[in-house]
Amino acid sequence: MKEVLKLVFVLFIVSCTSVKGPNQPTFGIVIHGGAGTILKENMTPEMEHAYENKLAEAISVGHKILKEGGSSQEAVEKTIHVMENSPLFNSGKGAVLTAEESIALDASFMNGNTLDAGAVAGVKHIKNPISAAIRVMKNSPHVMLAGEGADYFAANQGLDTVPESYFITENRLNDLRRVKKRESDQKVSINLIEEQYFKNQRIGTVGCVALDLQGNLSAGTSTGGMTNKKWGRIGDAPIIGAGTYANNASCGVSATGWGEFFIRSVVAHDIAALVEYSGLTINEASKRVMKKVKDLGGDGGVVVLDTKGNVAMEFNTPGMYRAHMDSDGNLEVKIYRDE
């Protein structure tokens, strides 16, 4: 009898220590690598594995930082570096090209604890634009810097710089030539812009939202924008409230999709506002806002995390490269809608 009581006591202690109470600190991380018409029939098993492995590698970097007590800011920055350094995604190396066959990278970051934020748009020489966004937040009196000034500022901050050629890949040059050919064939550029989106010439923006053990959320997004972009076009990714938002009072959001619609719908802030002011769950809020984007004619998706570690990965496209890892290390990596 004594032995049984002892066993019950031990089991009670184990259950108390292994099951997280409602107020026990937790952490989590969620990422995306772009949304669009990503269909299984257009993928080879090799490509699938390449994406899945890179997403798993990236999220594991951030997860390790969080597990060891590091900040959500560091987790977001280092996780995004892995994807920016991979030519698989439309950010950093392998980003899509402008109409001039050049590079113009956009990125933004927001700290959900302080509501500090930073962004860069149209940079050409900073190897990891997400770090430039963080430096703008930390070391400048501004929120957003663009063009040469942003490159100059980031280089002065000691960030790694590279020649434009570092970012440019053969695949992206071919994409650009194909899009340009269609444009000259059709001579109707507004229709072409729509068509370009449906033909996935911008898929691969990357983003990350993390929650650290201190209970702080951070979100970041990094992209090359859209193929054949002209006139200094800037999308939603570097715009705080459209492509990125984080607030400990609600949630952190990183978006990907047709930037013009995401700007007009102020997607990231809209989701956070629904959570904060209307008490919606992050799932309800994301669904509602992505429907709004769809009704306007736009497509894309979001990844969202709240301070309890709840996650939402919502998109209105056939696929979104995405991954989530909770504090127990449970990893989920997905590409298509029906997974």
**CB of residue 137 to ligand ASP, shortest distance in Å:** 20
Task: Kindly state whether residue 256 participates in binding ligand ASP, applying the rule CB under 6 A.
Answer: yes
Nearest to 104 by CA among 229, 203, 240, 207: 229
Residue 65, SS3 per DSSP: helix
Distance (Å, rounded) from C-alpha 226 to C-alpha 238?
13
Task: Assess contact for 90 and 257: CB atoms under 8 A.
Answer: no
Q: Which of 28, 257, 298, 319 binds ligand ASP (CB under 6 A)?
A: 257
**CB of residue 309 to ligand ASP, shortest distance in Å:** 25
Catalytic residue among 26, 205, 221, 244, which?
Answer: 205
Distance (Å, rounded) from C-alpha 159 to C-alpha 134?
11
Residue 183, SS3 per DSSP: helix
Q: Which of 33, 112, 220, 225 binds ligand ASP (CB under 6 A)?
A: 225
Contacts with ligand ASP in 6-35 (CB under 6 A)? Answer: 34
In order, the DSSP letters of 262-295 are HHHTTHHHHHHHHHHHH---HHHHHHHHHHHHHH
Number of residues that bind ligand ASP (CB under 6 A): 14
Residue nearer to ligand ASP on the CB measure, 246 or 255: 255
Q: x/- contact string, 192-221, with ligand ASP (CB under 6 A)?
A: ----------xx-x----------------
Q: How many helices and strands, by DSSP H and E, does the chain display?
A: 10, 12
**CB of residue 233 to ligand ASP, shortest distance in Å:** 8
Active site (catalytic) residues: 205
Which chain residues interact with ligand ASP by CB under 6 A?
34, 202-203, 205, 223, 225-226, 235-237, 256-257, 259, 262
